[in-house]
Amino acid sequence: MSDRIKTKLNKSLKSKYRFVILNDATFEELFSLVLSKTNLWIFLSTLIVILVILTSSAIIYTPLKYFIPGFGDYNYKSQIIALTLQTDSLEKELDAKAIKDQNFIRIITDSGFANDAAANIKKNSNLASNNTEIRESSKEELELRKEMSEVESFSINYKKDGKIDAASLLNEYHFISPANGVITEEFNTSEKHFGIDIVANRNEPVKATLDGTVISSGFEVETGYTITLQHKDNIVSVYKHNAKLFATIGSAVKAGEVIATVGNTGALTSGPHLHFEIWHLGKALNPRDFIVF
């Protein structure tokens, strides 16, 4: 029984058929094709395989795969996440630089602070002169004046006269060394190194070199935790690659006051050190000319 079925199946598969196209009017044969079931199955199977290969190639090697839920390149997704984080960091850096520039412009060009302070002093002086009577100074007042005079005479920020020359002007100041350590890279404007690098132990105190006001304090991608101080006579000092910052924008600091700690933050660093700069009227100066390290 089974042999008969196999024989009939073989005959059916091997049976040939002719596919003919005729002209309906003249019955002229235009096209003919001899087919068998075997050839038909082979043709259809080949066509299906080719379609599967083309579809798979289109999905694998073209962006179409990203439109299929659950299918995609996870490395590509991780790159998107990394680029998003970098974009956020760049936006924060741009915001920090914008605030820094605004503070510089406000301090250098805007005299509003000075005018307000002068107006308040004048107002207070007028009130004091109108509401107080002239009287002789007491013994305690005379002692206090003497003490304050001595403090001013030996102040590390005391300046004898206002000279125009930058070197002469800065030499009248007594700068404090910002950190204890060894200088490993010198001031070199030709290589755009506008300060000195002081290698020190991690978390070594970083001190303000002069009395001043914090005009910038925050993290930057290249220089890490950076703090900038504005001093008298348009002197600006910059401290980079810190581990921590202890002063915020607008804070008044004294010379020798700890404002940060030595660190290794930022892209442009290879070890714990302090990058220290001194600027005057937009020009970088060599800190070695004014500080003994």
Same-domain pairing of 42 and 85: no
Q: How many CB atoms lie within 10 A of CB 135?
A: 6
Same-domain pairing of 89 and 198: no
| Torsion sign (Cα): 135, 136, 139, 140 | positive
In a domain, 7, yes or no: yes
In a domain, 224, yes or no: yes
In a domain, 67, yes or no: no
| pLDDT averaged per 10 residues in sequence order, the chain, 293 residues | 61 73 84 78 90 87 71 62 81 80 65 50 51 57 64 46 62 90 94 94 94 94 94 93 94 94 92 94 90 86
In a domain, 205, yes or no: yes
In a domain, 161, yes or no: no
> Terminus-to-terminus CA distance in the chain, angstroms?
109
* Residue 41: domain span: 2-61
Same-domain pairing of 272 and 231: yes
CA distances (Å), origin 203, targets 32, 253, 272: 93, 19, 9
In a domain, 261, yes or no: yes
Regarding pTM above 0.75, the answer is no
pLDDT at 14: 67
Are the C-beta atoms of 241 and 227 separated by less than 8 Å? no
Same-domain pairing of 199 and 103: no
Are the C-beta atoms of 286 and 185 separated by less than 8 Å? no
Same-domain pairing of 54 and 78: no
DSSP-assigned beta bridge partners for residue 237: 229, 278
